[in-house]
Amino acid sequence: MKDELQTILATDCGSTTTKAILIEKKEGEYRLVTRGEAPTTVEAPFEDVTRGVLNAVGEVEELTGKKILSGEKIIKPRKNDKEGVDIYISTSSAGGGLQMMVAGVVKSMTAESAARAALGAGAIVMETIASNDGRLPHQKIEIVRRLRPDMILLSGGVDGGTISHVAELAELIGAADPRPRFGMGYKLPVIYAGNKDARDVVEKTLTEKADLAIVDNLRPVLERENLVPARNKIHEQFMEHVMAHAPGYKKLMAWTDISIMPTPGAVGSLIHYLAKHEGISAMGVDIGGATTDVFSVFEGVFNRTVSANLGMSYSISNVLAETGVENITKWIPFEIDEKDLRNRIRNKMIRPTTIPQTLVELKIEQAIAREALRLAFLQHKTMAVGLKGVQQERTISDTFAQAQTGETLVDMMGLNILIGSGGALSHAPRRVQSALMLIDAFLPEGITRLGVDSIFMMPHLGVLAEVNEDAAIEVFYKDCLVPLGYCIAPIGTAKTDGVLCIRIKSDDGEFSVNYGDMVRIPLATDKKKKIIIETERGFYIGPNKERKIEMEISGGVVGIIVDARGRPFKLPAETRKRIDKLSSWLKALQVYPDT
């Protein structure tokens, strides 16, 4: 079927906007034709998600002159070049997306593995409950009742281990008798992915209270995770229960040719496919109004985290609360009164759809975005780890003992590409602003490609990859990804600024950059250049502490940014020096019109 695909229609039903794209195969390659959007209609007065889909697809019809709709139906299969499509696919985060709770015996072991499984499936993890989390049984029951998740993932115990703790968790869920958000007449889905010896106990406890599904243990032995069966079942239950009871989704499910995917799950799927396709380490970030998602693939292992309290509109006050005024003002290249800053942030929270009207407002908003991204990245590093709790003995007394803790899989020196998405990054007035926000927040090391999603097409391509991976990757590179260029950031520090740090040689000449400085070297998107990078003593640029690297580098809309501010990076503590430094970097990179 995938070889015959000529015309592909894809939609993403977001919480506020439904976006439709049309992809066609022309002269042997898949390309984006056009894009349409309309308000999402999952809430009153329409309460039918398909209304927004039809409106967005109608805009695509108008822009292309093709006939895609026949009344309120999508014409499939394609009749000719002017009528119909071969396939229709969709993602969705409307209605708040997939909201889950996870439960496990040990918070830093099976409960953490359960959280990774849920996050990888595209869920927001509302709460994690564990036998050893220090809360009393009645407190845990109250949390389950109050939060009303869409689904619960219950895990715990290795195969053949003790079953008592898993039984207690099942009893807690049964006692809470949780009611779902949608469809009051049906039972809440509970997925059990724990010790296989406890299945009978869990079935006996929960069968009457919940719609129980049992899959393979996600931690069959302490040394290995098996997340795929749980992730697949989460997706299946999401479609059968959550989406089936959301307004209009039953109709939408009948239209699509493959299952609707949660939007974050689709974005993660694309990052995963991209890393596998290229054989590289990749990281992506999507900064939204309420949440910030971070995706990574290191050593072939995919991880996703959701910072549900870090966003640029609805959650912007949470960014301030979590990071503090000082961490935001450190990125602002002028002095600002703390009260003024707090009021600006509050205004953004109560008027979430507003955009900066002045250069001052833009600089403040991009300073906040740096902190939201930085905090989300720190949270991601704590979750994207090797397995914890590899024990010497597996007795009841050792249940909570941990012989070692997992180390983060995130290796910024080994990162090949960093991709930004979301309004603050995709719609920054100048692409160099997006590049600098990514560099300041993630502090890439060595040589790293940078890019942004031009029009938030990654969810559509993530679900397309399930049907035709090559088509999704082709459209991603040709129509979705805006290549910003490269960041070259040597590791090391010097006692004072101004000493020679790094030299870059090419056919065009030689650039020398001093420690503490940033330099932007233009290199057009369609150009490639062979360069020799060499660092001074005390600095290195390669994963094996190489001081000299020869490579071919491709261009981007920004070009090459040489970041010689050192790693670890530290801003001056004194206000005037900090502002002078920020201003010099902004001027060197031509970030704002006044610089």
Long-range CB contacts (< 8 A, 24+ apart) of 424-429? 424/287, 424/312, 424/365, 424/366, 424/369, 424/372, 425/285, 425/287, 425/369, 425/452, 425/453, 426/452, 426/453, 426/454, 426/455, 426/456, 428/366, 429/362
Q: What is the dihedral of CA 184, 188, 189, 191, to 10 degrees?
A: 170
What is the rounded CA–CA span in Å between residue 251 and residue 51? 11
Q: Using 50, 70 and 90 to split pLDDT, how confident is the model at 408?
A: confident
Res 104: pLDDT: 92
Please say whether the beta carbons of 110 and 104 come within 8 A: yes
Please report the pLDDT score of residue 398 as a whole number: 32
Would the pLDDT of 395 be above 50?
Answer: no
Q: Given a cut of 60, is residue 413 above it in pLDDT?
A: yes
Q: Which domains does the chain have, with CATH numbers?
A: 2-94 (3.30.420.40), 97-253 (3.40.50.2300), 282-387+402-589 (no CATH)
Tokens (6 digits) for 131: 């036998």
Q: What's the pLDDT score for residue 396?
A: 32
At 491 the pLDDT is: 97
Residue 121's pLDDT is 82
3-class SS of residue 199: helix
Beta bridge pairs of residue 124: 99
Read off the tokens for 163.
């079953």
**Percent of the chain whose predicted confidence (pLDDT) is above 70:** 95
Q: What does the pLDDT read at residue 1?
A: 53
Better pLDDT: 108 or 405: 108
pLDDT > 90? residue 336: yes
Mapped onto helix, strand or coil, the DSSP state of residue 303 is strand
The three-class DSSP label of residue 16 is coil
pLDDT tens digits, residue range 150-170? 899 999 888 998 899 999 999
Band of residue 592 on the pLDDT scale cut at 50, 70, 90 = very high
pLDDT tens-place string over residues 488-537: 999 999 999 999 999 999 988 898 999 999 999 999 998 999 999 999 99
pLDDT for 427-454, tens place per residue? 899 999 999 999 999 999 999 999 999 8
Q: What is the pLDDT of residue 559?
A: 96
pLDDT digits (tens, 9 = 90+) for 124-155: 888 999 998 889 999 999 999 998 888 999 99
| Long-range pairs of 217-221 with CB within 8 A, sequence gap ≥ 24 | 217/155, 217/157, 217/158, 217/159, 217/193, 218/110, 218/113, 218/114, 218/117, 218/155, 218/193, 218/194, 219/109, 219/110, 219/113, 219/155, 219/157, 219/158, 219/194, 220/158, 220/159, 221/158, 221/159
Beta bridge partners of 130: 104
pLDDT of residue 120: 83
Q: What is the pLDDT of residues 222-260, one digit of tens each?
A: 888 889 899 889 988 887 777 777 788 889 989 999 988
- pLDDT tens digit string along 342-380? 999 999 999 887 889 999 999 999 999 999 999 999 999
